[in-house]
Amino acid sequence: MADKISVPRVKLSNDAEIPIIGLGTWKSEPEAVKNAVKDAIDIGYRHFDCALAYENEDQIGDAIKEKIDEGVVVRKDLFITSKAWNTYHPRKLVKDGLKNTLSNLKMEYLDLYLIHWPIAYKEGTELFPKDESGKIVTSDVDYLETWKGLEDCCREGMVRNIGLSNFNSVQIQRILDICEIKPVMLQVECNPYLNQEKLFQFCKDKKLALTAYSCLGSPARPWVQASDPVLLNDPVILNLASKHSKTSAQICLRYLIQRGIVVIPKSTNRGRIESNFNVFDFELPEEDIISIKSLNRNFRAVALEWIKDHPHYPFNAAF
């Protein structure tokens, strides 16, 4: 499979390149993610999206090491992304968080490191610090300080590219106004129900690439409600899947890929991992793209409403 499919790459503003499809690992159980990553490498994936807060990087590192030791891949052929977690926002702590990730992944460097959220949590050993009532304890550290920490890591060769996740256009501009090393990527929730057209255009104007998480609507998110819309069951998507003899997931992924957006669908099921990868043998015509665009309802599956009172909460801005 790996030598049959040539995966397109998106060129970043610094001329680095990222495969347009990768494997997402959020909510992948540690015991399942190891096999998922090994399966993905065998299928042909070379891009893996990780985060310290997912608490499964150790198993991902084990899987990648096994495949390197087997001679299936070499490190330079892989593109590995991770994210600076909210409890490591002070500049002096950013490097500590990255060291933890590198140790877990058993790597000397990352290809891309993102600020996971613009919101800081109380520093300490707990990834999700809570008070006696169970509310997340936040911190007032400005993400501009966190960005300086990412720049430090980049200069030291611990990471080759740096960027942002879950930032709005105003927050991105604040970074651009003070940065010495420019962000090359923004990772946000993006799918036909939240097509991010204005934010995507803003990023193109500022020379940031876009990665879509929850690109299939995040149907397995922990807080899903029975009343929430289900993207993969949308009649328009189902009709297009039938028309092209593809799955609903393949239609959603192809829609994003044709816009030039990087996708990181998550699965631990080998069949779905392979199916999600097989999106390069067809193209959606313009009328299909228009139909899918019409589905936008600005529905956000990952809204973190329990911290929406934080001054850096990103989803109060227009885009």
The rounded Cα 154 to chain-centroid distance in angstroms is 19
pLDDT at 85 over 80: yes
Q: What is the pLDDT of residue 221?
A: 84
pLDDT at residue 136 greater than cutoff 60: yes
Q: Which amino acid is at 57?
A: E
Gap between the Cα atoms of 78 and 62, Å rounded: 14
Say how far apart CA 313 and CA 130 lie, in whole Å.
18
Q: Which fold has domain 18-307?
A: TIM Barrel (3.20.20)
Q: Does residue 124 register a pLDDT over 60? A: yes
Residue 47, annotated ligand binder? no
Q: Annotated catalytic, 54? A: yes
Q: Tell me how far CA of residue 144 lies from CA of 16, 91, 134, 150, 262, in angstroms.
A: 24, 9, 28, 10, 25
Q: What is the mean pLDDT of residues 109-130?
A: 97
Q: Between vectors from CA 260 to CA 176 and to CA 84, what angle results, nearest 5°?
A: 45
Domain boundaries, the chain: 18-307
pTM of structure: 0.96
- The active-site residue, picked from 45, 54, 193, 255, is 54
**pLDDT tens digit string along 255-273?**
999 999 999 999 999 999 9
pLDDT in tens, 34-80: 999 999 999 999 999 999 999 999 999 999 999 999 999 999 999 99
CB 19 within 8 A of CB 280: no
